[in-house]
Amino acid sequence: MHSSSPAVTTSIQGVSVASIARDVGTPVYVYDAAVLHDTVTQVAIALTDRARPAFRLQANPNVSVCAAIHTAGAVAVVGSPAELTTALLAGCDADQIVFATVDASEDVEACLRSGVGVIVAADLEQLTLIDRVATARGTRAPVGVQLDLGIDEKDLGKAAFAARFPSLDLIAVRSNRPPASLSRAVAGPDSVRHLIDTARRIDQMHPLRLVLLGDDLNPTVSSAAQSDADQLSAFLEPVGAADVLVEYGLSFTRPAGLLVARVRNATDRGDTQHVVTDIDLVTDQHQAAPVLLPDDEGRGERASLLRGPDPSGQPSPVQLPVVRPGDLLAVRHGGPVGVPMPMRQVLSRGLPAEVLVADAQPRLIRVADTTEDLLRGQRLVRSEHNPSRTGRAHPIG
């Protein structure tokens, strides 16, 4: 296991992370507002005047996290009506929001009702959907096309596009960067050049306002935002009068975030320490081993198997300090959405609390789900069916 994220810190802006966990309870996500702001600012500087940074809310849709990133100058890229509402509540101007991509008429309705800047379509079927909804509303829809999925450049001829989609204005193109498993030193420049060249050809038919270079949300690049921007800026070139946006997700949130958990149980089995925490701490192979809070170098380290509260979960082999029940462990983490939590955790225990440290003050930005929260939407229906002809239940065993 290795990490591309900065080391875990035991305090944020002078506030003890352990004290936050004691006050709020565990598990808890803790974010540093200053790091969020600085990360976005550094990326904007690295991109120079060639592009602007954008943030995909899929990485972390908490409204306060989104507001902190927006305040630093990032454009919001959303993918659902809920994320759209979050971006608006966070202070983003509707006409500066990118919606990528729509899956239902309700998505399109929300976009047109709010007046988003552009609606990105992944294929011709989505373009047809947007056009149908816009026509029914008697309005025009500003759209973009995702070039690396189901739309080909030949489908975008000016006359043919206008005839097929009479209520659409094509103003943007979007393409994802190569997967992080590829070498960006090799694949990155070619990918960017291809997007720029294609965008310039499309710009001759449809004057573009936006060119978007998407982020794959892969955790292997979760701390590389500035270096990524440094590399990309060398290959980004103007496309007519269009603005260029470079999207980031986990690379904005993970360097600023910690996930803190409490040790429920720790037992020795031979040479290995078996540790159970109140949430899964190791969610991908690129994380460093959890750190003890507060750090106690006198305990030493030993081989450990670490898992969350689900007994069916696969334990992760890590090097941990010798721990005891009640100890706190922390890892770098971008939040509850960027790296998916096990569905069993979400359904049976809910989402943890979230805290944002801003101006040296910890502020609760999400209350942990309770059992009542998990059951609130359910309705009890009792069946009149008897399990046996006699009307008596069969005993167990």
Q: pLDDT tens digits for 70-81?
A: 999 999 999 999
Per-residue confidence (pLDDT) for residue 147, from 0 to 100: 87
Helix (H, G, I), strand (E, B) or coil at 345: helix
Residue 3 has pLDDT above 50, yes or no: no
Per-residue confidence (pLDDT) for residue 182, from 0 to 100: 38
Residue 1 has pLDDT above 70, yes or no: no
Residue 52 has pLDDT above 70, yes or no: yes
* pLDDT-based confidence at residue 222 (cuts at 50, 70, 90): very low
Least trusted range by pLDDT, from 179-193, 260-274, 289-303: 179-193
Percent share of the chain, pLDDT over 70: 86
Per-residue confidence (pLDDT) for residue 386, from 0 to 100: 60
Query: Where would I find the beta strands (DSSP E) of 216-290?
Result: 243-248, 257-269, 272-277
Residues 113-159 pLDDT 10s: 999 999 999 999 999 999 999 999 999 999 999 987 778 888 899 99
Least trusted range by pLDDT, from 54-63, 262-271, 335-344, 349-358: 335-344
* pLDDT-based confidence at residue 394 (cuts at 50, 70, 90): low
- What does pLDDT average to over the chain? 87
Segment 34-40 mean pLDDT: 96
139: cis peptide before it, omega within 30°? no
Per-residue confidence (pLDDT) for residue 122, from 0 to 100: 93
* pLDDT-based confidence at residue 358 (cuts at 50, 70, 90): very high
Per-residue confidence (pLDDT) for residue 383, from 0 to 100: 82
Which carries the bigger pLDDT value, residue 226 or residue 187? 226
Which carries the bigger pLDDT value, residue 294 or residue 328? 328
Per-residue confidence (pLDDT) for residue 184, from 0 to 100: 46
Compute how many other C-beta atoms are within 10 angstroms of the C-beta atom of residue 392: 9
Residue 237 has pLDDT above 70, yes or no: yes
Per-residue confidence (pLDDT) for residue 179, from 0 to 100: 46
The answer to whether the CB of 254 falls within 8 A of the CB of 332 is yes
CA pair distance 87, 93, nearest whole angstrom: 8
Per-residue confidence (pLDDT) for residue 5, from 0 to 100: 61
Measuring CA to CA, how many Å separate 172 from each of 7, 8, 147, 169, 263?
38, 39, 10, 9, 49
The answer to whether the CB of 323 falls within 8 A of the CB of 274 is no
CA pair distance 204, 227, nearest whole angstrom: 32
Per-residue confidence (pLDDT) for residue 181, from 0 to 100: 38
* pLDDT-based confidence at residue 187 (cuts at 50, 70, 90): very low
The answer to whether the CB of 220 falls within 8 A of the CB of 181 is yes
* pLDDT-based confidence at residue 226 (cuts at 50, 70, 90): confident
Residue 65 has pLDDT above 60, yes or no: yes
Domains of the chain: 32-254 (3.20.20.10), 258-375 (2.40.37.10)
Helix (H, G, I), strand (E, B) or coil at 216: coil
What is the reported pTM?
0.88
